[in-house]
Amino acid sequence: MPLTRDKIVGHDLERLAFRFTMLNDAEVVLCQISDAAMDELAGMEGTESSARQAQFLSLRETVERIASDLYDEAPRFKGYVVRIFMRHLGR
């Protein structure tokens, strides 16, 4: 079952990833996409931290579809975080 859109958390400079949440019915699912994966989707390199939210918004539908697909394939346990890396983009 596809996840649905929820909230933007923002860029995590420590993990070099952009964080957001999605919903599985009423359950909040934490998600993140690595900076490298987001740059690859955007066809660019080295995006500044301050520009990550705008980049995410421009790619949001694609990123959320990938997150939903990964969630469908994932083991189900409380606290599972959907993490999108470059290796997930060639699917």
Q: What is the pLDDT of residues 10-38, one digit of tens each?
A: 999 999 999 999 999 899 999 999 999 99
Number of structural domains found in the chain: 1
Confidence of residue 91 (pLDDT cuts 50, 70, 90): low
Report how far residue 64's alpha carbon sits from residue 68's, in angstroms, rounded to the nearest whole number.
Answer: 6
Mean pLDDT score, 62-81: 89
Percent of the chain, pLDDT > 90? Answer: 80
Q: In three state form, how does the secondary structure of the chain look?
A: CCCEEEEEEEEECCCCEEEEEEEECCEEEEEEEEHHHHHHHHCCCCCCHHHHHHHHHHHHHHHHHHHHHHHHHCCCCCCCEEEECHHHCCC
57: CATH: 3.30.160.140
Percent of the chain, pLDDT > 70? Answer: 98
Residue 41: is its pLDDT beyond 60? yes
Residue 76: is its pLDDT beyond 80? no
**Structural domain span for residue 10:** 4-88
